[in-house]
Amino acid sequence: MKNSYLTLFLVSASAVFADPSKEASPSTAFHQNRNCISSILSPTPPTHSWELSDNSNDKISMNRRTSNPNKPQGWSLNIGGTYTWMSFSTPPTYSGNTGGVLGKLSYQQSDAFFGQARSYYNLGRLSSSKNKTSFHEWYSEFVGGYCFSPTKNWTITPYAGLGLDFLSDHHTGFSTIAPIKLNYAIYYAVAGLETHYTWENWMLGLQVDCLPTFNQYLRIRSLPKAAWVLKNRTGVAVQLPFAYRYAKNFWLEFAPYYRFLPIGHSNVLGLPHRNLNQWGAFVTFRFFL
């Protein structure tokens, strides 16, 4: 402040003791002195400071757009149960209710790598117009991809990986047909897309998977040393997960689903192809580590 007053005094003195030989109108001198005083008392901030402020605001707005504390992020573990109504075709067609358990280990962050390992076990008793079968299925999938976040509430995650499915189909005998135990081993690729929209404590999503098989084998329990190669086909799976966060790191998830797994035919055995259709729901507790 003292420096400002000193500068003001010097400017005023220079106006008083100016060289009389130089002609200047009173109005011009007045305006010059007023501009000098204004520049002293109200300095204009440098331009580069405003540019730095604008860049900081851009970064803040970008972080606000991409970060959402309500999004599930990081490592998580799903554990729960399944209910399924299924049909296993080729005459006769077997159908019935089954149940089981599932587990998932996932890593997911916005605009970062995505990885997931998921495993399901399903069993039940199916019946047809002629006989019954004891059905067991265990399948696992391992996928990896990238999680894109177009907005702070929405994520899109394409991924790819591998899966394996082991089916046990144990038929009871009927008429002149003896009981038979069939074991299938199916290896397939997984190409899928998962998307979620999250708001407050709720999440709604969609998951679609394409399941092209590349190896299918059939073993018959009464012939343990033999295995038959089946023709490869392509399956599909769809889920509609809906979740609610009831505590800080805990979510309850309900996911209706449909899964179609085709089993190829065998010319050697004279067996036609079979179709496994599954409709059901997963109910899981999800915990973020």
The Cα–Cα gap between 211 and 161 comes to: 10
Q: Would you say 125 and 136 are in contact if contact means Cβ atoms under 8 Å apart?
A: no
pLDDT at 68: 64
CA dihedral 105, 108, 112, 116 (to 10 degrees): 30
**pLDDT (tens digit, 9 = 90+) per residue, 242-251?**
999 999 889 9
- Considering the domain delimited by 74-288, tell me its CATH architecture: Beta Barrel (2.40)
Q: What residue type is 215 in one-letter code?
A: N
pLDDT at 50 over 50: no
Over 60: is that where the pLDDT of 32 sits?
no
Residues 6+ apart with CB under 8 A from 211: 163, 188, 189, 190, 234, 235, 236, 237, 261
Give residue 18's pLDDT band: very low, low, confident or very high (50, 70, 90).
Answer: very low
Question: If you compute the radius of gyration of the chain from its CA atoms, what whole number of angstroms results?
Answer: 36
Q: 52-56, 106-110, 211-215, 275-279: which has the minimum mean pLDDT?
A: 52-56
pLDDT at 57 over 70: no
Domains of the chain by residue range:
2-66, 74-288
